[in-house]
Amino acid sequence: MTTPFLPFALPEIGEEEIAEVVNALRSGWVTTGPKAKQFEADFASFLGGGVEAIAVNSATAGLHLGLEALGVGPGDEVITTTHTFTATAEIIRYLGADPVFVDVDANTLCIDVNAVEGAISPRTKAIIPVHFAGRAADMGPLLAIAQRHGLKVMEDAAHALPTTSGGKLVGTLESEVTVFSFYANKTITTGEGGMLVTRNAEIARRARVMRLHGINRDAFDRFTAKVPSWYYEVVAPGFKYNMTDIAASMGIHQLKRAYAFQKKREQLAALYDEAFAGLPIVCPPKAANGDVHSWHLYVIQLDGSVSLGRDQFIERMFEQGIGCSVHYIPLHLHPYWRDNFHLTPEMFPVSQKIYERTVSLPLFTRMTANDVARVVAAVKVALR
């Protein structure tokens, strides 16, 4: 019998999630309704800090809603990092604004705060930092820069639940908006989905209206009222970004296990760290002292002494039945961003160097210590 393939990621879905989804299906209310409202309330309570939570069908949707609510539009510039998934930047283009890309810090793999300050122009309206792999960006100095220049900050926290920065949960910092992802491989999942959080009541109101066609009342409110209330008004040209109750049913119970999931990921990461000591591998950056790393990803870098190329390393891992990935192919290498914004690798030397030697190894809560040992053994074989 051959050894089964170990995938890069798998979600952990329990009987509680399954039962809640079945309950939603049997209730007859499968679109945005009571489950979505409960998930929003639970999420706001989980974070604390007086935030409001708006459930959406993807983190991309949440980022789009957040930037729109901040008033970003044609002629504006938004600073973000090249070392991210395209969604972080594409939502800037949705609104007709221009992204300004900066490099990352080699010590954190997150946005380079010094580069941000150097990229500010009279057209700059906002900054979108990305909390990479579950480690928080250097938010204290970044928020200080934003305040000094009168800029808005929206955190891309797709990897960052339950990450902390300066001892506070990401989502409760002093930024205007934070957006989380619940995609299939994230730290908690609803299959597809996301959550926009903010303390600003006006941003929350705008996001709720715009997530459902610009209608001033959602269907659940209209159809469950005690008196006939079919009437609604379209007050803006909105979008179709609402989360279904089926997805929210999963989220309700995934959220309850967020800290247990984080602890398991942390333990797996520690096993990797210990096993890779002495190998020509650069292990992932740790969280700042006193902070929590969500360990969404375990991203290694091949040391400069390794003659083996990154692509060949991944092929050797695959031959041994181990799934790997790369986070990320920087935006400056993708044709759309490269050609339209005249980007070159020389403009982003840190991101480029990281990309050329980085590999994301399997890390998910269903993994066992034996699975980690198998990955480690495969890494050693691949490096020979």
Catalytic residues: 186
Which ranges of the chain would DSSP assign to H, the alpha helix? 15-27, 34-47, 59-69, 87-94, 113-119, 139-149, 201-210, 219-223, 245-256, 258-276, 310-319, 335-340, 349-357, 369-383
End-to-end CA distance of the chain: 26
| DSSP one-letter string for 72-101 | --TT-EEEEESSS-THHHHHHHHTT-EEEE
Question: CB burial class (10 A; 0-12, 13-18, 19+) of residue 169?
Answer: buried
Report the side by side order of strands in the sheet with 98-102: 52-56, 194-198, 177-181, 152-157, 124-128, 77-81, 98-102
Among 85, 152, 73, 82, smallest CA distance to 115 is for 82
| DSSP one-letter string for 227-254 | S------B-S---B-BPPHHHHHHHHHH
Q: Which residues touch 114 (CB under 8 Å, ≥6 apart)?
A: none
User: Do residues 253 and 17 make contact, with C-beta atoms less than 8 angstroms apart?
Assistant: yes
Alpha carbon of 44 to those of 50, 174, 308, 384: distances in Å?
8, 16, 47, 49
